Structure 1
Amino acid sequence: MCFGQWGRDSYGSRVRGTGGGTRGVGTGCGYDKPEKMAGRALLFAGPPSTGKTALALGISQELGSKVPFCPMVGSEVYSTEVKKTEVLMENFRRAIGLRIKENKEVYEGEVTELSPEEAESTTGIYDALIKEKVAVGDVIYIEANSGAVKRVGRCDAFATEFDLEAEEYVPIPKGEVHKKKEIVQDVTLHDLDAANARPQGGQDILSLMGQMMKPRKTEITEKLRQEINKVVNRYIDEGVAELVPGVLFIDEVHMLDIECFSYLNRALESSLAPIVIFATNRGICNVRGTDMTSPHGIPVDLLDRLVIIRTETYGPTEMIQILAIRAQVEELEIDEESLAYLGEIGQRASLRHSIQRLSPASIVAKTNGRDKICKADIEEVSSLYLDAKTSAKLLQEQQERYLT
Structure 2
Amino acid sequence: MRIEEVQSTSKKERVATHTHIKGLGLDANGTAIGMSAGFVGQAEAREACGLVVDMIRQKKMAGRALLLAGPPATGKTALALGISQELGSKVPFCPMVGSEVYSSEVKKTEVLMENFRRAIGLRIKENKEVYEGEVTELSPEESESSTGGYGKNISHVVIGLKTVKGTKQLKLDPTIYDALIKEKVAVGDVIYIEANSGAVKRVGRCDAFATEYDLEAEEYVPIPKGEVHKKKEIVQDVTLHDLDAANAQPQGGQDILSLMGQMMKPRKTEITEKLRQEINKVVNRYIDEGIAELVPGVLFIDEVHMLDIECFSYLNRALESSLSPIVILATNRGICTVRGTDMTSPHGIPVDLLDRLVIVRTQIYGPIEMIQVPISCLIMCFNFPM
Residue from 352, 366, 375 that aligns with 1:301: 352
For 1:60 and 1:23, how far apart are their aligned partners in 2? 15
For 1:283 and 1:227, how far apart are their aligned partners in 2? 42
For 2:125 and 2:245, how far apart are their aligned partners in 1? 21
Deviation, 1:73, is 1.1
Deviation, 1:140, is 2.1
**Which of structures 1 and 2 has the larger relative contact order (alpha carbons within 8 angstroms, sep 6+)?**
2
| 1:149 counterpart residue number | 200
Conserved 8 A contact 2:24-2:83: no
The alpha-carbon distance between structure 1 residues 126 and 50, as it changes in their structure 2 partners (threshold 3 A), is closer
Cα deviations across residues 189-222 of structure 1 (Å, max 9, x unaligned)?
A: 1111111111568766555443432131111110
Deviation, 1:314, is 2.6
Conserved 8 A contact 2:191-2:202: yes
| 2:229 counterpart residue number | 178
Please show how residues 327-366 of structure 1 align to structure 2 within 5 Å: none
Residue from 264, 288, 296 that aligns with 1:213: 264
Cα deviations across residues 15-64 of structure 1 (Å, max 9, x unaligned)?
A: 22311111111221349838664543011122334332332243344445
Cα deviations across residues 115-157 of structure 1 (Å, max 9, x unaligned)?
A: 4345599774122223233344433211011101123334445
* Alignment RMSD (CA, Å): 3.1
| 1:3 counterpart residue number | 25
- Bigger helix share: 1
Paired residue type of 2:185: V
The alpha-carbon distance between structure 1 residues 283 and 107, as it changes in their structure 2 partners (threshold 3 A), is same
**Secondary structure of the structure 2 residue equivalent to 1:54:** helix
Paired residue type of 1:251: D
Residue from 48, 67, 72 that aligns with 1:48: 72
| 2:124 counterpart residue number | 100
The alpha-carbon distance between structure 1 residues 114 and 280, as it changes in their structure 2 partners (threshold 3 A), is closer
| 2:336 counterpart residue number | 285
**Secondary structure of the structure 2 residue equivalent to 1:236:** helix
The alpha-carbon distance between structure 1 residues 265 and 124, as it changes in their structure 2 partners (threshold 3 A), is same
**Secondary structure of the structure 2 residue equivalent to 1:289:** coil
The alpha-carbon distance between structure 1 residues 123 and 271, as it changes in their structure 2 partners (threshold 3 A), is farther
| 2:373 counterpart residue number | 322
* 1:253 is aligned to 2:304: yes
Residue from 278, 290, 300 that aligns with 1:239: 290
The alpha-carbon distance between structure 1 residues 233 and 329, as it changes in their structure 2 partners (threshold 3 A), is same
TM-score under structure 2 length normalisation: 0.75
For 1:179 and 1:195, how far apart are their aligned partners in 2? 30
Deviation, 1:255, is 1.1
Residue from 72, 75, 83 that aligns with 2:96: 72
The alpha-carbon distance between structure 1 residues 78 and 8, as it changes in their structure 2 partners (threshold 3 A), is farther
The alpha-carbon distance between structure 1 residues 158 and 298, as it changes in their structure 2 partners (threshold 3 A), is closer
The alpha-carbon distance between structure 1 residues 200 and 169, as it changes in their structure 2 partners (threshold 3 A), is farther
Cα deviations across residues 266-293 of structure 1 (Å, max 9, x unaligned)?
A: 0000100011111112222211111112
* 1:192 is aligned to 2:243: yes
Larger Rg: 1
For 1:326 and 1:65, how far apart are their aligned partners in 2? 23
For 1:298 and 1:145, how far apart are their aligned partners in 2? 53
For 1:130 and 1:190, how far apart are their aligned partners in 2? 29
Equivalenced residue count is 328
The alpha-carbon distance between structure 1 residues 69 and 136, as it changes in their structure 2 partners (threshold 3 A), is closer
Cα deviations across residues 334-375 of structure 1 (Å, max 9, x unaligned)?
A: xxxxxxxxxxxxxxxxxxxxxxxxxxxxxxxxxxxxxxxxxx
Deviation, 1:83, is 0.6
**Residue range with higher mean Cα deviation, 150-159 or 210-219:** 150-159
Cα deviations across residues 156-195 of structure 1 (Å, max 9, x unaligned)?
A: 45556x4657754433322222111111111111111111
**Secondary structure of the structure 2 residue equivalent to 1:301:** helix
Unaligned ranges ≥5, structure 2: 1-22, 144-154, 157-171
For 1:180 and 1:8, how far apart are their aligned partners in 2? 48
Conserved 8 A contact 1:110-1:140: yes
- Bigger strand share: 2
Deviation, 1:259, is 0.7
Paired residue type of 1:230: K
**Residue range with higher mean Cα deviation, 204-213 or 37-46:** 204-213
| 1:274 counterpart residue number | 325
The alpha-carbon distance between structure 1 residues 75 and 180, as it changes in their structure 2 partners (threshold 3 A), is same
Deviation, 1:96, is 0.7
**Secondary structure of the structure 2 residue equivalent to 1:263:** helix
**Residue range with higher mean Cα deviation, 205-214 or 187-196:** 205-214
For 2:235 and 2:252, how far apart are their aligned partners in 1? 25
**Secondary structure of the structure 2 residue equivalent to 1:111:** strand
TM-score under structure 1 length normalisation: 0.72
* 1:29 is aligned to 2:29: no
For 1:226 and 1:308, how far apart are their aligned partners in 2? 32
The alpha-carbon distance between structure 1 residues 326 and 163, as it changes in their structure 2 partners (threshold 3 A), is closer
For 1:156 and 1:319, how far apart are their aligned partners in 2? 45
**Secondary structure of the structure 2 residue equivalent to 1:175:** coil
Conserved 8 A contact 1:112-1:137: yes
**Secondary structure of the structure 2 residue equivalent to 1:93:** helix
Paired residue type of 1:277: I
Paired residue type of 1:185: Q
The alpha-carbon distance between structure 1 residues 163 and 43, as it changes in their structure 2 partners (threshold 3 A), is closer
